């Protein structure tokens, strides 16, 4: 199950922070590290600060976008301050986040996403996530460095994994109840937007409307079966539409 839990670092500036994050991961049993456009990697400083977690560094994958890093994940949690302009489901407590993340990881890949050292994740990157999580800290000085944030959330994840109900690993959830991947959801939202424009509901670009609908479905968390039903409904409203390659099946 822990192998299904991915840590994604976005545009890390200091290679030493990659090494320190890898060390934080390994102490909590996490090994899947993905780097999105790191400034400098591989780097000797990353390996030096890994301090025994060089295997996590050596097996890390480098990709060019957050979308690529999480496309196969069913839950993607962005670590950030709460952004009310992007009304995604938000975990105020890392413990609650970890319990839900671990439950999904029993069957499918999930991800914890951390942004740049100086300014975190952009709004577009938050939109690639299904949830946000904040780490409670001193309101007068609540600044954690990157490796500290990784350590806190990795610890909560390991604790949730150790305390998981027995049924969670003996009886994985049925395929029809599993969450869709981020790629499947993206296909759905593209399909929904196309039908709204063809129907005349949207007569010009309405980014706000589509963002609000994306947030609505993020809160609803439809299963793969439910998403497939919604895709079928959209196809019935779309004349002469070709069968999509992705119907939300597992």
Each domain of the chain, given as residue ranges in start order, spans 2-170, 179-237
Strand duo 110-114 + 32-36: pairing:
unpaired
What is the per-residue pLDDT across 152-170, written as a single tens digit (0 to 9) for each?
Answer: 999 999 999 999 876 555 5
Q: What is the mean pLDDT of residues 167-183?
A: 73
* pLDDT in the model for residue 217: 87
| pLDDT single digits (tens) 123-138 | 889 889 999 999 998 9
Which tokens in the block code for residue 237?
Answer: 């409203």
- Which of 56, 48, 65 has its CA nearest to residue 27? 56
Residues 14-45 have pLDDT tens digits of 999 999 999 999 999 999 999 999 999 999 99
CA distance 226 to 247: 10
CATH code, 2-170: 3.40.1280.10
Here the tokens at position 116 are: 């740049």
What is the average pLDDT value for the chain, to the nearest integer? 88
Q: What pTM, to 2 d.p., does this model score?
A: 0.84
Per CATH, the number for 179-237 is 1.10.8.590
Distance CA 157, CA 162 (A): 9
């Amino acid at each position: 199950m822990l192998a299904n839990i991915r840590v994604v670092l976005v545009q890390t500036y200091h290679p030493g922070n990659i090494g320190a994050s890898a060390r934080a991961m390994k102490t909590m049993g996490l090994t899947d590290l993905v780097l999105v456009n790191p400034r400098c990697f591989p780097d000797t400083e990353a390996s030096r600060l890994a301090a025994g977690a060089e295997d996590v560094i050596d097996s890390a994958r480098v990709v060019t976008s957050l979308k690529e890093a999480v496309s196969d994940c069913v839950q993607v949690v962005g670590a950030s301050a709460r952004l009310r302009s992007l009304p995604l489901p938000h975990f105020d407590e890392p413990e609650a986040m970890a319990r839900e993340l671990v439950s999904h990881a029993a069957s499918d890949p999930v991800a914890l996403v951390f942004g740049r050292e100086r300014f975190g994740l952009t709004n577009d990157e938050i939109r690639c996530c299904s949830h946000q999580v904040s780490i409670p800290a001193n309101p007068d000085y609540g600044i954690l460095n990157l490796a500290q944030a990784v350590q806190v959330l990795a610890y909560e994840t390991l604790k949730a994994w150790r305390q998981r109900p027995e049924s969670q690993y003996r009886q994985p959830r049925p395929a029809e109840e599993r969450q869709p991947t981020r790629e499947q959801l993206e296909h759905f939202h593209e399909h929904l937007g196309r039908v709204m424009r063809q129907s005349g509901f949207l007569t010009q670009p309405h980014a706000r409307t589509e963002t609000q609908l994306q947030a609505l479905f993020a809160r609803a968390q439809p299963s793969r079966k439910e998403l497939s039903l919604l895709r079928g409904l959209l196809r019935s409203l779309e004349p002469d539409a070709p069968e999509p390659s992705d119907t939300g099946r597992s």
